[in-house]
Amino acid sequence: MKSFDPRVNRMELPSNDDGKEVLESEENWETYEVFHQKKRGDQHIHVGIVHAANPEMALILAKESFGRRRQTANIWVVKSSLVYPTDYENQDMFETTPEKTYREASDYYCMDRIRKYQKEHGISDRKDERRKNKEAEEK
Amino acid sequence: MKFDEQQLKAVKEFLYKIADDQLIIGHRNSEWTGLGPILEEDIAFSSIAQDKLGQSMHIYEILYSLGEKDPDTIAFTREAKDFKCSHFVEYMIGEYDFSLMRNFLFSHSELIRFEMLAESSLEPLANLAKKYKGEIKYHVMHSDLWVKQLGKANEESHARMQSALNECFNLALGIFEESEFAEDLKEMKIFDGEKFLRDKWLEQIMPVLEKASLETPPQSNWSPVYGGRKGEHTEYLQPLLDEMGAVFRLDPKAEW
């Protein structure tokens, strides 16, 4: 097999082999999940993976793979093998979630009741006051 | 800062030497782009090469402010004899072991040089040194990692790194070729001298090499390869310059 990649050619793969088997046996580095933090105090956000022989190498390579084009305060790497995922076979357990709008704050209409209560008890609306003050200032 | 004629010559020679080393090793290392051992390392090594080009450009800008030509003209139109880089950075990239070892030895010298320059009386240079501290620190972390990793990984990798070190060492000592203007630079509080830098460099690389189970040649065999600072170069420099400047010279007035 003649490849554009000189490293593949140097491996002198048999001409009738597509190289898959040999390449797989060479591919023995683990992957690390990379988490990127933009500013100190922000949460770290998953951005991708790197291949590396050890955690130190993963950090060094992640710095350029994922930090070279954006503001960065900190990077975490975690061995991919240490991540425990849910099974896609069980994805149906999430199926009805989008219907459960009562779990979202936007599903509650209560301002009219709050206003009524404030009026009855003589409580002024702070937001309203601020607006009035601002308008007075502008005049 | 105001310089007399001798001082100006000293400062310019000093800046050319630093920037030329950076430009040439930057270009050499960029030759690995697309050919790195794995994708992630390809990206990292290419970024490091770009960093060196950027650093050299900013030093050429200081030279421009001292009356030299603009950075592009300086970088792309000079002949080999006008360059002040060390032979070390001119050599072809070889195998990855050679390039990694070269970058390791060179980056450590840069880290210390720029620490020294951060205190320099030449203010624009001191500012650059402070600005690039983090970049160069990363270059050293990257090289240290690979030297330690490959020095210990297996028999073949250790043998390759050891032979790369043997090949590189006297060339690397050539970085520290003392300038005829060393005394002027010291007097002006611009730079404390290559000897001081070399001693610090040795102190810094030895523990890393030891961790990597690699040995420098015995001191009796140390024989620095000088000449680059005086404009004498290897046969490898001119072809590199021809290639690097080919596009620029097609139309030097083109706007980029």
Tell me if A96 is assigned to some domain. Answer: yes
Do the Cβ atoms of A53 and B149 come within 8 Å?
Answer: yes
List of chain B residues whose C-beta atoms are within 8 Å of the C-beta of residue A65? 40, 43-44
What mean pLDDT is reported for chain B?
96
Q: In this predicted structure, what is the pLDDT of residue B188?
A: 96
How confident is the model over B165-185, as pLDDT tens digits? 999 999 999 999 999 999 999
- In chain A, the number of structural domains is 1
How many distinct helices (H) and strands (E) make up chain B?
A: 11, 0
| Contact call for B35 and A61, based on CB within 8 A | no
List Cα–Cα distances, B169 to A42, B49, B141, B201, in angstroms: 45, 21, 20, 12
- Give the C-alpha distances (Å, rounded to integers) separating A59 from A21, A37, A73, B54, B83: 29, 13, 13, 24, 37
Would you give the DSSP letter of residue A93?
G
Mutate to test the interface with A, among B38, B40, B50 (most CBs of A within 10 A): B40
Residues 6+ apart with CB under 8 A from B128: B55, B58, B59, B62, B117
Q: Is the pLDDT of residue A2 over 70?
A: no
Q: Is the predicted pLDDT of residue A22 greater than 60, yes or no?
A: no
Tokens of B99: 């390039």
Range of the domain at B209: 5-250
Q: What CATH number should be reported for the domain holding residue B57?
A: 1.20.1260.10
Q: Provide the 8-state DSSP code for B216.
A: P
Domain membership of residue B255 (yes or no) is no
How much is the average pLDDT of B104-111?
A: 98
pTM higher than 0.80, yes or no?
yes
Contacts of B138 in chain A (CB under 8 A): 63
In a domain, B256, yes or no: no
Cα distance from A50 to chain B (closest Cα, Å)?
7
In a domain, A57, yes or no: no
Q: Around A13, how many Cα atoms within 13 Å sit in the side-chain half-sphere?
A: 20
Between A52, A60, A65, which is nearest B142 by CB? A60
pLDDT above 90: residue B220: yes
Are B44 and A61 a contacting pair at CB < 8 A? yes
**Does residue B152 carry a pLDDT above 50?**
yes
Residue B228 in any domain: the answer is yes
Chain A residues touching B144 at Cβ < 8 A: none
Q: What pLDDT sits at residue A129?
A: 81
Q: CA-to-CA distance for B109 and B200, rounded, in angstroms? A: 9
Residue A133: predicted pLDDT: 87
pLDDT surpasses 90 at A138: no
Note whether residue A122 is domain-resident. yes
pLDDT for residue B55: 98
User: Measured between beta carbons, which residues in chain B are less than 8 angstroms from residue A29?
Assistant: 38
Residue B121 has pLDDT above 80, yes or no: yes
- Does any domain span residue A131? yes
Res A1: pLDDT? 45
* Domain region containing A94: 88-138
Query: Is A36 domain-assigned?
Result: no
The structure tokens listed for A58 are 């993963």
The percentage of chain A sitting over the pLDDT mark of 70, rounded to a whole number, equals 80
Using CA coordinates, name the residue in chain B closest to A31: B40
- Residue A78: in which H helix or E strand, if any? strand A74-79
The per-residue pLDDT for range A94-120, each reduced to its tens digit, is 999 888 888 888 778 888 888 899 889
Asked if the structure places residue A35 within a domain, the reply is no
Whether residue B40 and residue A61 make contact (CB cut-off 8 A), yes or no, is yes
pLDDT value of residue B252: 86
Residues 6+ apart with CB under 8 A from A12: none
Please check whether residue B133 lies inside any domain of the structure. Answer: yes
- Return the structure tokens found at B157: 């990798």
Is position B17 within any domain?
A: yes
pLDDT at A139: 75
ipTM of the complex as predicted: 0.88
- The mean pLDDT value for B65-85 works out to 96
DSSP 8-state symbol, B70: -
Instruction: Please say if the pLDDT value at position A20 is more than 90.
Output: no
Q: Is the dihedral of CA B172, A58, A51, B152 positive or negative?
A: positive
Most confident of A101-105, B11-15, B246-250: B11-15
Closest CA to B55 of B141, B104, B140, B114: B114
Tell me, yes or no, whether B237 lies in a domain: yes
pLDDT bin (cut points 50, 70, 90) of residue A125 is confident
